[in-house]
Amino acid sequence: MTKNPNDEQARSKMGGKTLPTHDATGRKKTPQQTKGFAADTAEKTGMSKRAINLSLSRAKAIPEDVRDQITRTHLDKGVYLDILKKMSSGRLAVLPAPPSP
């Protein structure tokens, strides 16, 4: 059995992961369906796939109420978001409320 060079090229573009080419109904997936969320979003926004994945991991790790409090503040920067991401949710709950206008 010979290897198809196109298969190897496709795998290398996906970071070594192989994805099924058919969905649950047996229909062939379109190219958009086989591309991962981060790769698809990166292509459409012009951001890197790494930046998309980093933003997603921050959003998943930091509770929504904390994200709402820090939006548009000096804490809404990558370095601070990474620190908050590493903190336990119990420690994040004791953050002081922002001053009211």
**Per-residue pLDDT tens over the stretch 20-57:** 566 667 777 666 556 788 888 999 999 999 999 999 99
Specify if 17 maps to a domain: no
CA 55 to chain centre: 6
Specify if 22 maps to a domain: no
User: Is residue 59's pLDDT more than 70?
Assistant: yes
Range of the domain at 42: 36-95
User: Is residue 88's pLDDT more than 80?
Assistant: no
Start-to-end Cα distance in the chain: 71
Residue of 57 and 8 predicted with greater confidence: 57
Instruction: Report residue 26 as tokens.
Output: 């047996």
Specify if 45 maps to a domain: yes
Specify if 52 maps to a domain: yes
49, 77 Cβ separation under 8 angstroms: no
Count of domains forming the chain:
1
